[in-house]
A = this chain, B = another copy of it.
């Protein structure tokens, strides 16, 4: 494998009791995953843990050394249940310090707001010692980057802005390309075809995702490859195979 073939990997730790209680439906897994795809980095593992120091430290330490990048979402706000900065600092064995630039950002942001920069709000200027900031275009408090660990907000639209600020700044490989082929058939009827097409193409994975729509069963087959050529060949072969077996072939997918 040449250097350019390196597969860049990332993990995500979603932090928050509200996800584990079922109260809040996580939206960050999908948005971080989609964003990483475009950066040429594969999201390989996600862990969801509660607002608990030991749980966050364990997840951060297990994942930051196993993957090229680690992202966290949640727990960087001003309240007592926001302990991500302390947990990541503990995981890395560094102190927590007030970042002067973060403090200045918060001073400006809260200058004209009731209460000003309170002690609780100043918590959001705390970072693990040695960290840089990730710009937050949506609200005051910045995200935090230390080594390969990126601490982001739990609120999805704030996280989206932070990801946008990071776009193009991380080294990645060839993006994983994908095409979806839809088919009005039970996936169980074409399982052999899928296996054969995948086997015949190196650097190619095919996923099968059944659905039930308009009173009929169907499936979407997602073909993935880092090579445009391999992808197109696999899609052509699959369409031909599905067509020959007499299925009503519907390109596009959902």
Q: Chain A residues in contact with chain B, CB under 8 A?
A: 14, 16-27, 29-37, 42-51, 55, 77-81, 113-115, 118-121, 123-124, 155, 176, 178, 186-189, 191-192, 194-195, 198, 205-210, 222, 224
Q: What is the total number of copies of this protein in its complex?
A: 2
Asked if A33 meets B45 with Cβ closer than 8 Å, knowing A51-B207, A77-B187, A191-B120, the reply is no
Asked if A176 meets B21 with Cβ closer than 8 Å, knowing A26-B26, A188-B118, the reply is yes
Contact, CB under 8 Å: A81 / B22: no
Asked if A42 meets B29 with Cβ closer than 8 Å, knowing A77-B188, A78-B188, A191-B120, the reply is no
Give the residue name and chain of the B residue nearest to A78 (CB).
Answer: B188
Chain B residues within an 8 Å CB radius of A222? 18, 21, 23
Asked if A47 meets B50 with Cβ closer than 8 Å, knowing A77-B210, A80-B198, A195-B80, the reply is no
Tell which of A31, A33, A48, A79 has the most Cβ of chain B within 10 Å. A79
Contact, CB under 8 Å: A78 / B191: yes
Chain B residues within an 8 Å CB radius of A207? 16-18, 51, 81
Q: How far is it, in angstroms, between the C-alpha of A158 and the C-alpha of B24 when the chains are bound? A: 21
Q: How far is it, in angstroms, between the C-alpha of A243 and the C-alpha of B251 when the chains are bound? A: 58
Chain B residues within an 8 Å CB radius of A80? 191, 194-195, 198, 206
Contact, CB under 8 Å: B23 / A42: no
Contact, CB under 8 Å: B26 / A22: no
Which of B46, B47, B205 is in CB contact (< 8 Å) with A17? Answer: B205
Asked if A44 meets B18 with Cβ closer than 8 Å, knowing A81-B206, A208-B77, the reply is no
Closest 5 CB pairs of A and B: A22-B33, A120-B191, A22-B34, A46-B48, A78-B188
Give the residue name and chain of the B residue nearest to A141 (CB).
Answer: B188
A18 vs chain B, min Cβ distance (A): 6
Asked if A30 meets B37 with Cβ closer than 8 Å, knowing A79-B191, A114-B189, the reply is no
Give the residue name and chain of the B residue nearest to A14 (CB).
Answer: B46
Contact, CB under 8 Å: B21 / A33: yes
